[in-house]
């Protein structure tokens, strides 16, 4: 059994679709991508249904099945997703997911001709007229700390002589997050109120937090789970992964600084998390795999976290960016400002290693469980994946194109995460929007 998704005809960069917008060079969703999500027409009150993004359109997968473009075995599973999320499809494993990808390419590629176009056009909804929701029911959420450049930069702010703790290069660090406050792109949330303590204050106080931040992360969704007490070997880990999303782990830095010792993040992280709505499947990511390597002199992973496939193709190349638009910029028609760019392949641990370590103690993972990668910063000072890094802990404001400055987020600010996968000789694919907006605190 192969441990990672293989390249096949669905990755052919020459493939084109009869959906014309899917052939545009700047689309996130060419026919080589075919991400999965849950949608309904905007303004509708019916159930959310499984769909795939193709160019600037959303194809209703249940409708496609009913029209005869997908096999009955797939249609039966897709119908169980209506109103509930993709969990039942996730639980079926990679073979059925590959079948769905192959059947979609057969139905949507330009060679299918006018017959398929005529058949399936009624099943298309313009993306601008679609409402998205979370792609699945998320039972559990674990946030890892695999961005070594972020861990080092933040560590230097608090421990200049010893930024990384001794366990960092040996074990994937993580904590359990809050599921109920996870929202999909377009999420708005209130500035949290919490208990904080200034370094020179005699006692803590309670009020709207002042050091609100974003964190640029990649999320991984579990497909098939494992029985309690049965670990998952590194060579089988990716068989249990469904796909990736973008993830903004909003953070209240002043609450975090006061509460995190000795048990780690709690209310500083639980008020909001934003996901991109489209899941980029592990199959779509196959052309963008890279070798997983460690810097010379760093310890190699322990045997249970090490395997040939993970070494050869465990890393995934995703170019990541953060864009910020203030309320004044929106009012003036000024486009969001790009704040930074980094690379997901720089992660210190692969998604397979995160999953294997998570299950190594017998923890039973379930379809729809979510992993966060941790903040994905780059090695340079201007590649910080959070304002905490870009402003050196709030000491160096950043200036936006309209002259406004930021050390941390203000009410009305919108943050957009961007992810694109590129490789020589391959069709570029993207993740679509992951946008969240800060509203004033209650009261």
User: In CATH, which of 3.40.190.10, 3.90.850.10, 1.10.287.3510, 3.40.47.10 is domain 141-439?
Assistant: 3.90.850.10
Q: What is the pLDDT of residue 158?
A: 80
CA distance 194 to 205: 8
Q: What is the pLDDT of residue 113?
A: 77
Q: What is the pLDDT of residue 112?
A: 87
Residues of the chain with pLDDT > 90, as a percent, come to: 94
pLDDT band at residue 1 using 50, 70 and 90 as cut-offs: very low
Is pLDDT of 428 > 70?
Answer: yes
CA distance 361 to 171: 13
State the CB neighbour count (10 A cutoff) for residue 25.
7
Is pLDDT of 2 > 70?
Answer: no
Is pLDDT of 137 > 90?
Answer: yes
Length of the chain: 443
- pLDDT tens-digit series, residues 49-86: 999 999 999 999 999 999 999 999 999 999 999 999 99
Q: What is the pLDDT of residue 29?
A: 99
Average pLDDT, the chain: 96
Those residues whose C-beta lies under 8 Å from the C-beta of residue 48, and which sit 6 or more positions away, are 38, 39, 40, 82, 83, 85, 131, 133
Q: Show me where the domains of the chain are located.
A: 9-133, 141-439
Could you check whether the bond before residue 193 is cis, i.e. omega within 30 degrees of 0? no
For 436-440, what is the mean pLDDT?
Answer: 98
Residues of the chain with pLDDT > 70, as a percent, come to: 99
**Residue 265: alpha-carbon gap to chain centroid:** 20
State the CB neighbour count (10 A cutoff) for residue 411.
15
Is pLDDT of 182 > 70?
Answer: yes
CA distance 60 to 38: 9
Is pLDDT of 205 > 90?
Answer: yes
The residue written with tokens 């009410």 in the block is: 411
Beta strands in 62-190 (DSSP E): 124-126, 130-133, 141-144, 174-176, 182-184, 187-190
- Please report, for residues 1, 31, 32, 98, 283, the alpha-carbon distance to residue 94 in angstroms, rounded to integers and kept in the order given: 11, 19, 17, 6, 9
Is pLDDT of 3 > 90?
Answer: no
Among candidate residues 11, 150, 240, 358, the one labeled active-site is: 150
Q: Is 150 a catalytic residue?
A: yes
Q: Dig out the tokens for 406 from the structure.
A: 């930021």
Is pLDDT of 7 > 80?
Answer: yes
**Cβ contact 408:387 at 8 Å:** yes
Is pLDDT of 178 > 60?
Answer: yes
For 190-203, what is the mean pLDDT?
Answer: 95
Angle at which helices 94-108 and 113-120 pack, to 10 degrees?
110
Is pLDDT of 443 > 90?
Answer: no
Instruction: Give CATH for domain 9-133.
Output: 2.30.30.230
Q: What is the pLDDT of residue 162?
A: 85
Those residues whose C-beta lies under 8 Å from the C-beta of residue 328, and which sit 6 or more positions away, are 334, 402, 404, 412
CA distance 135 to 77: 15
């Amino acid at each position: 059994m192969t441990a990672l998704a293989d390249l096949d005809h669905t990755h052919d960069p020459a493939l084109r679709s009869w959906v014309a917008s899917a052939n545009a060079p700047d689309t996130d969703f060419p026919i080589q991508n075919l991400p999965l999500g849950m949608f309904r027409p905007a303004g509708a009150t019916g159930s959310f249904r499984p769909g795939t993004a193709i160019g600037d359109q959303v194809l209703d997968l249940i409708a496609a099945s009913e029209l005869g473009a997908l096999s009955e075995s797939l249609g039966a599973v897709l119908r169980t997703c209506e109103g509930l999320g993709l969990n039942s499809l996730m639980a079926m494993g990679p073979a059925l997911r590959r079948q769905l990808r192959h059947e979609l390419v057969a139905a949507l590629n330009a060679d299918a001709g006018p017959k398929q176009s005529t058949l399936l056009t009624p099943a298309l909804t313009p993306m601008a007229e679609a409402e998205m929701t979370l792609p699945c029911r998320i039972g559990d959420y674990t946030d890892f700390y695999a961005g070594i450049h972020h861990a080092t930069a933040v560590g230097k702010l608090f421990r200049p002589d010893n930024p990384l703790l001794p366990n960092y290069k040996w074990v994937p660090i993580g904590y359990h997050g809050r599921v109920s406050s996870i929202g999909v792109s377009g999420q708005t949330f209130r500035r949290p109120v919490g208990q904080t303590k200034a370094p020179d204050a005699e006692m803590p106080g309670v009020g709207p937090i002042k050091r609100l931040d974003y964190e640029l992360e990649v999320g991984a969704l579990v497909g098939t789970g494992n029985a309690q007490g049965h670990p998952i070997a590194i060579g089988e880990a990716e068989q249990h992964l469904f796909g990736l999303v973008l993830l903004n782990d909003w953070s209240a830095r002043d609450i975090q600084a006061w509460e995190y010792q000795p048990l780690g993040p709690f209310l500083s992280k639980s008020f909001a998390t934003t996901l991109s709505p489209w899941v980029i499947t592990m199959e779509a990511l196959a052309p963008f795999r890279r070798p997983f390597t460690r810097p010379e002199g760093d310890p190699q992973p322990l045997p249970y976290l090490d395997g040939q496939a993970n070494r050869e193709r465990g890393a995934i190349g995703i170019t990541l960016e953060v864009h910020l638009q203030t309320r004044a910029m929106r009012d003036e028609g000024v486009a969001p400002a790009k704040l930074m760019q980094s690379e997901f392949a720089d992660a210190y641990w692969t998604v397979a290693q995160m999953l294997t370590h998570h299950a190594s103690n017998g923890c039973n993972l379930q379809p729809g469980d979510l992993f966060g990668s941790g903040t994905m910063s780059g090695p340079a000072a201007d590649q910080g994946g959070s304002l905490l890094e870009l402003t050196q802990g709030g000491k160096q404001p950043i200036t936006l194109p309209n002259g406004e400055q930021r050390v941390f987020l203000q009410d009305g600010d919108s943050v957009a995460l961007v992810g694109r996968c590129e490789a020589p000789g391959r069709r570029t694919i993207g993740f679509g929007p992951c946008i969240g907006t800060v509203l004033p605190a209650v009261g």
